[in-house]
Structure 1
Amino acid sequence: MPKSKRDKKVSLTKTNKKGLLLKQKIIEEIRNSLSKYEHIFLFTVDNMRNTKLKDLRNDWKDSRFFFGKNKVMAVALGRTKSDEIEEQLNLVSKRLKGQCGLLMTNRDVIEVLQWFKDFRAAEYARAGFIATKDVILPQGPLEDFSHTIEPHLRRLGLPTSLERGVINLIKEYQVCKKGVALTPEQASILKLLGIQMAKFKLVIKCHWTKGKGFHKDLDVLSDQETDNENDNDVVEDEDMEEDES
């Protein structure tokens, strides 16, 4: 009787014993999940936040998310037509590039696509994020801040002084400019001001259905893929939080 491709042992080089066991575990779990779920969706992530990914798992308890090394997930599915676990899964593997993950589910395809199209979560921008608007602070008191934070504000570059226990901005200050990448200091100031410019979102790029095969869902680049293309620096294998569900 021929041996199932699901049971095929995979050689993973250039890794220590602990790392090897972890990679083998991910491969085994992905392959075992193939028998439980009808659909596999490949998605990219804009403004990745691990806390948001944990929230997603709670919303999709009947499904399974996988995040980790793209190359390991590709091995689990099969990188070529000759070693793919199911027909046309190699077409999914070939698209595992950058910051992305897999969703395995039995929910209806239309429901999944619509859910992810609608899903957005505001987040604080980090250094390197392209500012979406100008933020200018007028001269005068910053009454929302405790006086104890004044030295920290000065370290971040704000021209402040402490007058009768109230932080005062000595002159007008532009925190950031629309279209320009944020510095670490600017990102910290925006967070202190409670201004959330970033949007955490997942973009479905393609899906695979048991018995039907591969389907491309989107040719348009996500926000961060566009940034990478512009910088000529497309990340091939980005680490994400490993699957915990």
Structure 2
Amino acid sequence: MPRSKRDKKVYLTKTTKKGLSLKQRIVEDVRNCVEKFDSLYVFKYRDIRNSHLKGVRNEWENSKLHFGKNKVVAVSLGRTEKDEIEDNIHKITRFIKGPCGLLFTNCKREEVVDWFENFSVADFARSGFKVDKTITLSEGPLSQFSHSMEPYLRKLGLPTKLERGIVTLIKDYVVCKEGDALTPEQAKLLELLGHKMATFRFKLRAVWSKPGNFERLSKKDDQDDVDIEDEEMEEGNE
């Protein structure tokens, strides 16, 4: 009887006992998911939030979402044809890099692609986020803030004072300019002002499905994809 591709040992070197236990659980979980589900999708994400992610997990409760430990996941699946646990599954591991996640599912491909293309949630930007528009406040009262907020607003950089108990901007103020990488103070001001400038969304990168079908789903639109394409070219020239 031929030996199953999944019956492979994974060597996790340079690992503490506690870390080794965690990595072994990841390997076992990933391999169980490959056996249980028909398809595996790799997706990248931006501006992820735990609160939104909880809702996503609820929507895919009959599937399995996996985040983190990219190298361990890649090793679990097999990064080469020799090491892979299923036919052609090693091809998807080169997309498991950077901010990405995995979806193991039995849903039809059309359903998966449609959901990912249409899912997005607006949220407040964090420090370091590059904004795509300029936000300016005009001189005058900021009635949305209570008088007790005035010292905190000044601490964040707003030129304010109290006039008859009302927080008042004493001159026009540019909160952020298009192209700025937000400072922590700018990010907090935008949140207090109610400006949601970030968008939590996913983008499908590649899919593997039984029995051994692989397809790349995203075009060359970011640095990770450029690196992947360069690797493919280099391998083809060897």
Secondary structure of the 1:35 match is helix
Amino acid across the alignment from 1:74 = A
List, as ranges, runs of 4+ consecutive aligned residues in structure 1 with deviation greater than 2 Å.
1-9
TM-score by length of 2: 0.90
Q: Does 2:90 align with 1:90? A: yes
Equivalent pairs, count = 226
Q: Tell me the percent identity.
A: 50
Q: CA deviation at 1:3?
A: 4.3
Aligned CA-pair RMSD = 1.7
Unmatched runs of 5 consecutive residues or more in structure 2: 228-238
Q: Does 2:194 align with 1:194? A: yes
Match of 2:60 in 1: 60
Match of 1:134 in 2: 134
TM-score by length of 1: 0.88
Match of 1:15 in 2: 15
Match of 1:30 in 2: 30
Amino acid across the alignment from 1:89 = I
Secondary structure of the 1:154 match is helix
Match of 1:205 in 2: 205
Distance in 2, Cα, partners of 1:5 & 1:13: 22
Distance in 2, Cα, partners of 1:146 & 1:69: 45
Match of 1:176 in 2: 176
Amino acid across the alignment from 2:45 = V
Highest relative contact order (Cα 8 Å, sep 6+), 1 or 2?
1
Q: Following superposition of structure 1 onto structure 2, how do residues 114-129 of structure 1 map, counting pairs within 5 Å?
A: 114-129=114-129
Secondary structure of the 1:168 match is strand
Q: CA deviation at 1:170?
A: 0.6
Higher helix share: 2
Distance in 2, Cα, partners of 1:198 & 1:112: 23
Distance in 1, Cα, partners of 2:3 & 2:150: 68
Amino acid across the alignment from 1:44 = K
Q: CA deviation at 1:5?
A: 3.4
